[in-house]
Chains A and B, each alone.
Chain A
């Protein structure tokens, strides 16, 4: 029996569908998948050791990160000036899962789980500001194992304070701080070790039992359990956060994809809902737009313009510059110095994906 299409090809619905298909990848802006190497000069990090799960950016605009997989690697990357390079700084012995990287003032500290527990690994500051077009020179860097953070407990997440001198981290059962320069760890107390941490101007928030947040005051060193009630939503998943436009603004999502802004003083505000859940890594750019990925297995990029509060689907990630590649799963994100976002691809042969958002049209008044 010959099958026939049961549709009118000229109907508005079919024409709209065709339009949607024509723009199913990166509907706005440009994505560039950058390989984990100095392209054309060094080998990439081995594909099954290159799921990029942790990123941070330092005050020079250089990115430090960690991978997960058969072996965890720590790396440094830069994309401005004459750079365009990712350096594999080294493998963490017995490490398989990088959960956080924190850029301190003079070095970065990575937190990596594996057969030897949840360990802190110092990455020395790397001289990336060179002429990577023509002539460069540096010695391989040595990673320094700072030891287990809390014996027997994997690290869940860690962040740096605003001064970049103190790292605040959680394991599966404890909150700890670390002096970024000395590597000395202080266990503060017990917390529910779930989800990512969020840093406002003076406090750290983490996911507590039930639909609540705990609060850690950096100045006093006190933890306040169940300090903040989460708003109405599905709070079953592990929380992820992005920093907002001002020091006290934070952004998060519930398990259904609802996006919220949070201010320790003003509470939560619903911004909208991503079209898929769960919501993965997100980052905000200076004009107030929040970009992130949503959906499992084949994530979609979304944009939440936090000022009017609308959310749009920007489709599946694809790169046609530098590397031709689809992007399906992402592990972390940071905002670069010029408002670009760098996403870490949490997949075999993960790349660093630079996203250059579409420039917003600004109404101009003739002089």
Chain B
């Protein structure tokens, strides 16, 4: 691990002194783990049962404590999504069903397809149901690409709408389905189980949607912005939070039935960014539900800790950049500079995956390693110190873009990954001393 003395002043100014003081040094090449430290073995599970699959945007723990993931096929004309589940007895994946067939919208429809589930698994603990909502982008079977803007008014081509499906994990049955958002995809989904409400963000219009599970009726609360936030979260007062284009919190309060925008900004690099595009990428609740940890969908993503139950507007703590320094004069590829997969594990620590890449000036890693790496970090929420525990390894491809992470009922870590074909998930086995049964509880209620 490098120290403050090892980096130049420019790097220090980029990071800010507090980040260094907290041990939040940039994700430069870490030194090898000292012998004797707990290993975190990594295994890759490709979606070979769905070879069209090119992305895995959703990975969540189900109400049964098992891991569910979405084998999405968005670049293939006519491609469809198949939910999968990690089978711990076989140490392999079970392919549950073809979701498009299940909702009577097959890939051969000629419309944009039910190609993916995008951060939209949401558990229901009282009845063992896992809700899932589909997203768009997969082209019709006879077209190379799909644009929801271009085809909005085209009855033949337009996406039918985000399909909401209730899957009973106790007996592997699809109980029912409905159209959650006509013509639009669902970017992210949340379940307020006490109130029987699902919350969603639509794409492309970026509307905030509420679906009542009792009446099976949806309601459109209105537009938020242009850049889709990639996560919603819930607080103790049943308020639902997300973010807008310019890095502000957006809060829906059921009592007032109103969306409100925070005066303050989410964390970003104040040296050259304005807050624009600092929308949530991933948000994980702390085990005590007093705060959440979040990363942004923005180059140079920052980690944050947000206290939604405090004050008129929450206290937002900037925990510093999640990835390495880089040249800010060039807009880096957003699939290179990325942080996702935030989840607490049985040891009470926050785990997440941040990308790391070779950069001749800012991170001259040895030439033997891969150009792009997916580094699994472990953050101590008390001291805010973080340590690199392992790297994700794909046998031949990349491993740097993790969409979501979760811990299963055995206490092991799983990460969904985007960037390989077929796509798949990683399992990171937790060291025995850091592992706990039912580590997924209390369960995260959003995708």
Contact = CB atoms under 8 A, between A and B. Distances in A.
B179 to A, nearest CB: 15
Interface of B: 51-52, 73, 76-80, 107-108, 139, 141-145, 147, 149-150, 152-153, 183, 204-205, 222-226, 245, 258-259, 261, 263, 276
Given A2-B51, A3-B73, A326 B150 contact: no
Interface string A290-327: 00000101101000000000000001100000001110
A20 B52 CA distance: 27
A348 to B, nearest CB: 4
A138 B410 CA distance: 66
Q: With a 10 A CB-CB cut-off, give which of B153, B245, B258 has the most chain A CB atoms.
A: B153
A9 B145 CA distance: 11
A298 B151 CA distance: 10
B143 A326 contact: no
Contacts of B139: 5
26 contacts: A3-B76, A4-B76, A4-B77, A4-B78, A5-B78, A6-B77, A7-B142, A18-B144, A21-B145, A21-B150, A24-B147, A24-B149, A46-B261, A47-B259, A47-B261, A295-B152, A297-B205, A298-B205, A315-B149, A325-B245, A328-B223, A348-B222, A348-B223, A348-B259, A349-B223, A349-B225
A14 interface: yes
Contacts of A5: 76-78, 139, 141-144
Interface residues of A, number: 33
B117 to A, nearest CB: 17
B309 to A, nearest CB: 24
A116 interface: no
Contact of A297 (B77, B152, B225, B245): B152
A332 interface: no
A51 B147 CA distance: 26
A298 B159 CA distance: 14
B145 A328 contact: no
Contacts of A324: 226, 245, 276
A146 interface: no
Contacts of B225: 325, 349
Nearest to A15: B144
B403 to A, nearest CB: 22
Given A3-B79, A5-B144, A7-B143, 18 more contacts: A3-B52, A3-B76, A3-B108, A5-B77, A5-B139, A5-B143, A6-B78, A7-B142, A7-B144, A14-B143, A17-B144, A24-B147, A70-B258, A297-B205, A298-B152, A315-B149, A326-B149, A348-B222
Contacts of A295: 152-153
Contacts of A300: 153
**SS of B interface (majority):** loop
A25 interface: yes
A347 B141 CA distance: 34
Interface in A339-356: 347-349
A3 B80 contact: yes
A325 B226 contact: yes
A239 to B, nearest CB: 22
A64 to B, nearest CB: 25
Contacts of A328: 205, 223
Contacts of A47: 224, 259, 261
Given A48-B222, A325-B226, A21 B142 contact: no
A276 interface: yes
Contacts of B204: 326
Contacts of A20: 150
Contact of B141 (A6, A25, A46, A48): A6
Nearest to A24: B150
A17 B77 CA distance: 14
A347 B223 contact: yes
| A-B complex: 9 closest residue pairs judged by Cβ atoms | A5-B77, A3-B78, A348-B223, A298-B152, A24-B150, A6-B142, A7-B142, A348-B222, A316-B149
